[in-house]
Amino acid sequence: MLTPEQVADYLRQNPGFFEQNVDLLVNIQIPHPHGGRAVSIVERQLVAVREKTRLLEEKLRELIAFGEENDALSGKVHRLACRLIEAGGLEAALDVAYLDLLDHFAVPHVAVRLWGVAEADPETQEFGDVGAEMRDFTARMAAPYCGGHAVYESQAWFGDAAPHLRSFALVALRREGQAFGVLALASEDPQRFYAEMGTLYLERIGELLACALGRHVTPVREPAA
pLDDT band at 24 (very low <50, low <70, confident <90, very high): low
pLDDT at 224: 46
- The pLDDT mean for the chain works out to 88
Percent of the chain whose pLDDT exceeds 70: 86
Q: Is the pLDDT of residue 20 over 80?
A: no
CB neighbour list of residue 84: distance below 8 Å, 6 or more residues apart: 93, 96, 97, 208, 209, 211, 212
For the ranges 56-70, 119-133, 201-215, the maximum mean pLDDT occurs at: 201-215
Residue 148: name the closest of 133, 136, 130, 165 by CA. Answer: 165
What was the pLDDT predicted at 49?
80
pLDDT at 225 over 50: no
pLDDT the model gives residue 48: 75
Cβ neighbourhood burial of 136 (10 Å; 0-12, 13-18, 19+) = exposed
Q: How far apart are CA 99 and CA 111, in angstroms?
A: 11
174 forms bridges with which residues in the sheet? 179
pLDDT of 92 > 60? The answer is yes
**Of residues 10 and 199, which shows the higher confidence score?**
199
In this prediction, residues 151-159 reach a mean pLDDT of 97
Name the least confident of 50-59, 140-149, 181-190: 50-59
Model confidence at 216: pLDDT above 60: yes
Closest CA to 216 of 78, 117, 129: 117
Structural domain spans, the chain: 18-86, 89-214
Q: Quote the pLDDT of residue 71.
A: 87
Q: Which CATH superfamily is domain 89-214 in?
A: GAF domain (3.30.450.40)
- The residue-averaged pLDDT of 10-22 equals 74
18 against 159, higher pLDDT: 159
Q: What is the mean pLDDT of residues 79-89?
A: 95
Predicted local confidence at residue 90, as pLDDT:
94
The reply to whether the predicted model has a pTM over 0.85 is no
More confident residue, 193 or 66: 193
Task: Write the DSSP assignment of the chain as a string of letters.
Answer: ---HHHHHHHHHH-TTHHHH-HHHHHH-EEE-TTSSSEEEHHHHHHHHHHHHHHHHHHHHHHHHHHHHHHHHHHHHHHHHHHHHHH--SHHHHHHHHHHIIIIIS--SEEEEEE-SBTT--TTSGGGS---HHHHHHHHH-SS-EEESS--GGGGGGGGGGGGG--EEEEEEEEETTEEEEEEEEEES-TTTS-TTS--HHHHHHHHHHHHHHHTT--B-PPPP-
Convert 74-103 to b/e letters by CB count within 10 Å (16 or more is b). Answer: eebbeebbebbeebeebeebbebbeebbee
108 burial (CB, 10 Å; 0-12 / 13-18 / 19+) is: middle
* pLDDT higher than threshold 50 for residue 198: yes
